[in-house]
Amino acid sequence: AAGVIQSPRHLIKEKRETATLKCYPIPRHDTVYWYQQGPGQDPQFLISFYEKMQSDKGSIPDRFSAQQFSDYHSELNMSSLELGDSALYFCASSATEKYNEQFFGPGTRLTVL
């Protein structure tokens, strides 16, 4: 079965650079969620989109923005990167008829030097 696809899987950036993470949800899933998991930490919710509209917002820094496109894929844009942004970024998707069941992608590991 198709799963959530995230790209790239690994990304190395320097401070103050920008990064774009991409997420391709499971086909027919209309909701996308982004989570950040720091080293040794639990995942923290950043932001979610339903039918291309932002549906909920968590602890996403102002330097980050995200959007969901017409094909339901989502991109997380990160600017002015800081050392503390080094983390594993997960995308999850869900479908309206499968209420509250989120399927996670493998994550993108971002390292900021």
Partner 1 sequence: AQSVTQLDSHVSVSEGTPVLLRCNYSSSYSPSLFWYVQHPNKGLQLLLKYTSAATLVKGINGFEAEFKKSETSFHLTKPSAHMSDAAEYFCVVSESYGGSQGNLIFGKGTKLSVKP
**Cα dihedral sign for 2, 20, 69, 90?**
positive
Residue 106: CB minimum distance to partner 1, A: 4
Q: What is the CB-side half-sphere exposure of residue 113 using CA atoms within 13 A?
A: 4
DSSP letter, residue 25: P
Q: Give the binding range for partner 1 (CB under 8 A) out of 19-27, 29-37, 64-72, 77-85.
A: 29-37
CA distance 18 to 6: 17
Paired with 21 in beta bridges are 76
DSSP letter, residue 80: S
Q: Give the binding range for partner 1 (CB under 8 A) out of 18-26, 66-74, 75-83, 96-104.
A: 96-104
Q: Pick from 54, 56, 63, 113: which binds partner 1 (CB under 8 A)?
A: 56
- Residue 33 within binding range of partner 1, rule CB under 8 A: yes
Q: Which residues bind partner 1 (CB under 8 A)?
A: 31, 33, 35, 42-45, 48, 50, 55-56, 58, 90, 92, 94, 96, 99-107
